[in-house]
């Protein structure tokens, strides 16, 4: 079969399947799609050209696949999926002393404890090992799937409320802060964020980097909760939340409370742009881990995994996207708003 025809047929098959799956994801739960899609897309553009060309050929897939782990959790009700997205770090003790591998953590704690308290950092480590192996064996489909999935969990690790017990403010009368922080705020202000984090670097100690990121995120969870509590305690309800005609707090399609734009802006200023900073940290870490997996695999030539026709067809658009990315901007897609 002609290469161009084959590419076209594959695109015609994969795109509807992905779009249908993502549609169902929207029906089932909140998923911070804006953050995940922007992280994956920006990470691709930050890669060195030896990797960027291959990843850019599949940019739409990598962008759309960024939310598939949430689809597995909500739409397919995958019982093993939920624990991969979080860790209640307080229940594990000192973060710096945590075991580094999945095997070690499973030897220390039983399955019931881990499913309840999360396995996020160890799942990141597992995926990193698998991605390195896929690069080494030059297995195209596995590289793309594993890289996209890895980016999702790395992003979760950089989102503070995925690393603490009080993940939605439910313990401090701040319920709804999770979606406020991870969906409404970036949807409101994300178009002004800077998505250029520079070129990636090789990570010498992946395990140490994961635990360091966890430690930083966990500390930030205390800060963002405290700042919101301080800001809201002397405000009337209608300054904090949007109120409907019946006098009730408005809710979005996922039954999450909707804050006012003014309150979102004020809170963002009070936490000194923490949302943007953590998105940038997730982009940088994702690119670093992709790059490190490739280097550790011996820096294989992955550009030959695609037909030359595909690479040529993407070349001009890549130049345009890189120009925008250098200015901190992304283009060519639109995340579906949750608020």
3-7, 77-81, 193-197, 201-205, range with the lowest pLDDT:
3-7
Please tell me what DSSP assigns to residue 250. Answer: P
Q: Does the pLDDT at position 64 exceed 60?
A: yes
**How sure is the predictor about 50, in pLDDT bands with cuts at 50, 70 and 90?**
very high
CB 332 within 8 A of CB 321: yes
Percentage of the chain lying above the pLDDT 70 cut: 91
- 269 burial (CB, 10 Å; 0-12 / 13-18 / 19+) is exposed
pLDDT at position 332: 86
For residues 18 and 77, what is the distance between their CA atoms, to the nearest angstrom? 18
Say what the pTM is. 0.91
What pLDDT score was predicted for residue 30? 53
Looking at residue 333, its pLDDT comes to 87
* pLDDT score recorded for residue 173: 96
Cβ neighbours of residue 236 under 8 Å, at least 6 residues apart? none
Residue 5: the pLDDT is 34
Please give the pLDDT value at position 76. Answer: 76
Q: Is 257 helix (H, G, I), strand (E, B) or coil?
A: strand
Span 240-262, pLDDT tens digits: 999 999 999 999 999 999 999 99
pLDDT of residue 261: 98
Please check whether the domain covering 3-198+205-326 is classified as CATH 3.40.50.300: no
Going from the C-alpha of 181 to that of each of 174, 185, 248, the distances in angstroms are 12, 6, 21
Q: Are the C-beta atoms of 125 and 207 separated by less than 8 Å?
A: yes
Give the pLDDT confidence score for residue 77 in this predicted structure: 75
DSSP string, 4-36: HHHHHHHHHHHHHHHHHHHHHHHHH----HHHH
Task: Tell me how far CA of residue 219 lies from CA of 25, 177, 232, in angstroms.
Answer: 30, 16, 21
For the chain, the domains span 3-198+205-326
Q: Kindly report the CA angle at 43 between 40 and 49, in degrees rounded to 5?
A: 130
Q: What is the pLDDT of residues 269-326, one digit of tens each?
A: 999 999 999 999 999 999 999 999 999 999 999 999 999 999 999 999 999 999 999 9
Q: pLDDT band for position 22 (50/70/90)? A: very low
Structure tokens at 49: 């050209």
Alpha helices in the chain (DSSP H): 3-28, 33-46, 49-57, 59-64, 68-74, 102-108, 111-117, 120-137, 140-158, 177-179, 185-189, 206-232, 237-240, 261-270, 274-296, 308-326
Q: Is 332 left (phi over 0), alpha (psi -120 to 50) or beta?
A: left
| 317 closest CA partner among 30, 45, 65, 26 | 45
Q: Which residues pair with 249 in a beta bridge?
A: 243
Q: What is the DSSP string of 142-175?
A: HHHHHHHHHHHHHHHHHSGGGSSS-TTSTTTT-T
């Amino acid at each position: 079969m002609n290469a161009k025809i084959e590419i076209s047929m594959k695109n015609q098959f994969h795109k509807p399947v992905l779009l249908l799956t993502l549609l169902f994801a929207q029906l089932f739960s909140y998923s911070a799609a804006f953050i995940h899609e922007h992280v994956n897309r920006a990470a691709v553009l930050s890669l060195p050209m030896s990797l960027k060309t291959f990843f850019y050929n599949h940019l739409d897939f990598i962008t759309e696949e960024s939310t598939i782990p949430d689809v597995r959790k909500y739409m397919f009700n995958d019982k093993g999926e939920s624990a991969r997205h979080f860790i209640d770090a307080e229940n594990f003790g000192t973060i710096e002393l945590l075991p580094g591998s999945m095997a070690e953590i499973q030897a220390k704690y039983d399955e019931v404890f881990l499913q309840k308290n999360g396995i996020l950092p160890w799942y990141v480590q597992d995926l990193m090992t698998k991605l390195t192996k896929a690069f080494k064996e030059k297995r195209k489909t596995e590289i793309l799937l594993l890289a996209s999935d890895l980016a999702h969990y790395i992003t979760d690790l950089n989102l503070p409320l995925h690393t603490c017990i009080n993940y939605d403010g439910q313990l401090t009368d701040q319920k709804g802060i999770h979606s406020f922080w991870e969906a409404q705020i970036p949807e409101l202000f994300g178009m002004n964020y800077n998505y250029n984090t520079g070129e990636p670097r090789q990570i010498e100690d992946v395990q140490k980097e994961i635990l360091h990121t966890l430690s930083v995120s966990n500390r930030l969870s205390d800060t963002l909760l405290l700042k919101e509590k301080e800001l809201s305690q002397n405000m009337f309800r209608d300054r904090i939340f949007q109120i409907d005609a019946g006098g009730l707090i408005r809710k979005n399609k996922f039954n999450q409370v909707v804050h006012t734009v003014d309150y979102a802006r004020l809170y963002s200023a009070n936490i000194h742009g923490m949302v943007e900073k953590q998105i940038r940290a997730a982009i940088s870490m994702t690119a670093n881990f992709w790059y490190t997996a490739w280097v550790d695999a011996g820096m294989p030539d992955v550009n030959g995994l695609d037909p030359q026709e595909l690479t040529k067809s993407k070349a001009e658009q890549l130049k345009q996207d890189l120009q925008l990315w250098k200015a901190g901007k992304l283009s060519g897609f639109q995340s579906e708003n949750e608020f």
